[in-house]
Structure 1
Amino acid sequence: MKRLTVLVVMGFSAVASLTACVSAPTGPTVAVMPREGKPFDLFQQEDLYCRNFAANSTKDTSDAALKEGATSAAIGAALGAVAGAVIQGGNHANVGTGAGVGLLGGAAMGAMNSSGKQNQAQAQYNIAYQQCMYSKGNQVPSIR
């Protein structure tokens, strides 16, 4: 029983550390250049304006996606722990080990889903940023 408690605590610590890696976009991951002849000071002002625009445009979406990703990691860990315990259920000495392994595996699967949600939020941020910078007359990368 003591081993099960230790494994469960370690598993939930893993879940907490994996979901803590999830964050909202902090800036664009695309390069935008000023049009020829545009003063750099003006370009910097537009960049700041468009970063704020993109952050506000995706705030609700990215917050919901990040919460969903963290929840997915926790649910995946719990289901993994149950599955691990059931698989090892025939041998009572190994139930705790099976639950611990399942817990860690489920947390990893949930973290991968969370990472996908973070990528989706970043893509939406980039689109809003590019739209704004393009409307200001700047050069944005073409998508082919």
Structure 2
Amino acid sequence: MTRLIRVAVLAAVATGVLSACVSAPTGPTIAIMPREGKPFEVFQQEDQVCREFAANAVKDTSNAALKEGATSAAIGAALGAAAGAVIQGGSSQNIGTGAGVGLLGGAAMGAMNSAGKQNQAQTQYNIAYQQCMYSKGNQVPSYPAPVSGSGYRQ
């Protein structure tokens, strides 16, 4: 029975480590330039406002990525323990081995799924950031700078 406890502790530690590997976007991965004539201090203020806007836009997606790894590892450990019990008639050694194998498989699947969600969050963050910075008259690659004097101006 002590082996089963050790496997459960190992599963909890591995789940915590996996969760620590996944992170929310910390900033844009695209370059935005101030429009000609804009003071750099104004550009920096707009950058901070738009980073906050983008972070709020992806909050739910980032949280989903963090939960994905932990959930998959826990489910994998439980399924592995059940399979170990069924295969060898319920001996604690086989339950522990099954839980360990399930934990590794679940952790690997969780890491892959979580990475996909993390990439999706970064893409959404970049789009929200670009939209915000463009609306403030800054230069976004592949888009012409907004014409100043027409429309809303800050």
Shorter chain as normaliser: what TM range?
0.7 to 0.9
Alignment CA distance shift 1:70-1:118 (3 Å)? farther
Q: What are the within-5 Å matches in structure 2 for residues 118-129 of structure 1?
A: 118-129=118-129
The Cα of 1:64 is off from its aligned counterpart by 4.2
Where is the helix percentage greater, Structure 1 or Structure 2? Answer: 1
Q: Is the 8 A contact 1:88 1:94 kept in 2?
A: no
The Cα of 1:97 is off from its aligned counterpart by 2.1
Higher relative contact order (CA 8 A, sep 6+): 1
- Matches of 2:63 and 2:92 in 1, distance apart? 42
- Matches of 1:107 and 1:82 in 2, distance apart? 17
Tell me which residue corresponds to 1:18: 18
Tell me which residue corresponds to 1:79: 79
The Cα of 1:10 is off from its aligned counterpart by 1.0
- Matches of 1:16 and 1:39 in 2, distance apart? 45
The Cα of 1:19 is off from its aligned counterpart by 1.4
Task: Determine what percentage of the aligned residue pairs are the same residue.
Answer: 74
Q: Is the 8 A contact 1:80 1:104 kept in 2?
A: no
- Matches of 1:69 and 1:91 in 2, distance apart? 28
Most deviating of 39-48 and 68-77:
68-77
Q: What are the within-5 Å matches in structure 2 for residues 93-132 of structure 1?
A: 95=94, 96-132=96-132
The Cα of 1:75 is off from its aligned counterpart by 2.5
Alignment size in residue pairs: 142
Tell me which residue corresponds to 1:89: 88
The Cα of 1:30 is off from its aligned counterpart by 1.4
Tell me which residue corresponds to 1:33: 33
- Matches of 2:52 and 2:46 in 1, distance apart? 10
TM-score, with length taken from structure 1: 0.78
Root mean square deviation, CA, Å: 2.7
AA partner of residue 66 (structure 1): L
AA partner of residue 5 (structure 1): I
Tell me which residue corresponds to 1:54: 54
- 1:25 is paired with a residue whose SS is coil
Alignment CA distance shift 1:81-1:130 (3 Å)? farther
- Matches of 1:110 and 1:61 in 2, distance apart? 15
Alignment CA distance shift 1:88-1:9 (3 Å)? farther
- Matches of 1:28 and 1:81 in 2, distance apart? 42
Q: Is the 8 A contact 1:19 1:114 kept in 2?
A: no
Stretches of structure 1 that go unaligned for 5 or more consecutive residues are none
Q: Is the 8 A contact 1:79 1:106 kept in 2?
A: no
Stretches of structure 2 that go unaligned for 5 or more consecutive residues are 144-154
Alignment CA distance shift 1:99-1:66 (3 Å)? closer
Q: Is the 8 A contact 1:76 1:110 kept in 2?
A: no
AA partner of residue 13 (structure 1): V
